[in-house]
Amino acid sequence: MSKVYSLPSHIKEDLKLVEEELLGIVASKKGKLAEASLATLKAGGKRLRPILVLLAGTINDYDLSKLMPAAVAVELIHTASLIHDDVLDGADTRRGFPTVNAAWDETIAISTGDYLFGMAFEILSKLNNPYFVKIMSEAVLALSVGELYQMKTYHSLNQTVDDYLFKIKNKTAFLFSVACLMGATLSGAKETEIEAMGKYGENLGMAFQIYDDVLDISGDKETLGKPIGIDLKDGIVTMPVFFALEEITTGECLQKVVENVNSTEEEIREAISIIESTSAIERTKDKAKKFIERALESIELITDAGTKRGLYSIGEFVIDRYH
């Protein structure tokens, strides 16, 4: 993407240090779990959650030495959740690289995810503040609740858009919010600013996941790093599916794909074509933009111009990356 997003230059430089710390901590360990963890981290990623920690840390007194443990821990938690998701989805690739369960096996993958969760909390404990352990524990609990709820609703049309929003709030948005809360708190921000950053992170995370779900329908394998239609294959009902079913008069094919545990690739392609023939994708993008608007409204009280520009740029990035 050629567009340049406005992040403070020192954030870009410090993110490189976070990356070095992230890889260095994992590389310092021995054994299969460390090896599998390192392979997953080296596959890359947007590192959006560490960026949020650092950016929120600019609100008042920016100190990388304080922010580093939080930035590293939040990315380890995110990576652990991805590894577990890949096991549940039976995914063979992520970001164009073999998943841990494909390169090793499911047992190693589950253990690697658990290993990264443990490592994250060990790092967080070095902040010597139970608040950070508490909110990260709540984020991991939310991840579990969201994942469990999603599993309960696999291949079921007996759910609503509100059910979908509940799932993505827990699976994605909560961790975005925690990243912002940690950064703002570590900077010594005012209580009102910390609260605003928490709201910003939550709404940003909602938009991010909604756009991700759009990409599963209308993206391409190269962009995703994995085949499209995975959610449909797994029977996960996302916002584009809800909106498409509202519009079409005969939705038997789409319903069949969602409810059938053994849909063929041809049936999945047909279901995607049906969704794309409706206004479901555009309606879904519009919903995601509303969450971005809410995120940006919540930070109007942030006074630091550089911080605000960076936060606005992250909102633009979340929208632009799928357009």
Q: Contact at 8 Å (CB) between 236 and 314?
A: no
How far apart CA 62 and CA 266 sit, in angstroms, is 53
The model's pLDDT over 155-188, given as tens digits with 9 standing for 90+, comes to 999 999 999 999 999 999 999 999 999 999 999 9
pLDDT confidence of 29, banded at 50, 70, 90? confident
**188 burial class (0-12, 13-18, 19+ CB within 10 angstroms)?**
middle
- H or E element in which residue 120 lies: helix 106-124
The CATH topology of domain 9-302 is Farnesyl Diphosphate Synthase (1.10.600)
Show me where the domains of the chain are located: 9-302
SS3 50: helix
How far apart CA 320 and CA 318 sit, in angstroms, is 6
Say yes or no to pLDDT of 273 above 70.
yes
213's CB contacts (< 8 A; 6+ apart) are 168, 231, 238, 239, 240, 284
Tell me the CB-side half-sphere exposure of residue 73, using CA atoms within 13 A: 29
pLDDT confidence of 323, banded at 50, 70, 90? very low
pLDDT confidence of 193, banded at 50, 70, 90? very high
Q: Contact at 8 Å (CB) between 251 and 268?
A: no
Give one DSSP letter per residue of 171-231, joined into a string: IIIHHHHHHHHHHHHHTT--HHHHHHHHHHHHHHHHHHHHHHHHHHHH--HHHHTS-TTHH
| Residue with more model confidence, 244 or 220 | 244
137's CB contacts (< 8 A; 6+ apart) are 121
Q: Which of 90-99, 122-131, 266-275 shows the lowest per-residue confidence on average (mean pLDDT)?
A: 90-99
pLDDT confidence of 1, banded at 50, 70, 90? very low
pTM over 0.85: yes
| Residue with more model confidence, 6 or 314 | 314
How far apart CA 263 and CA 238 sit, in angstroms, is 17
How far apart CA 40 and CA 33 sit, in angstroms, is 11
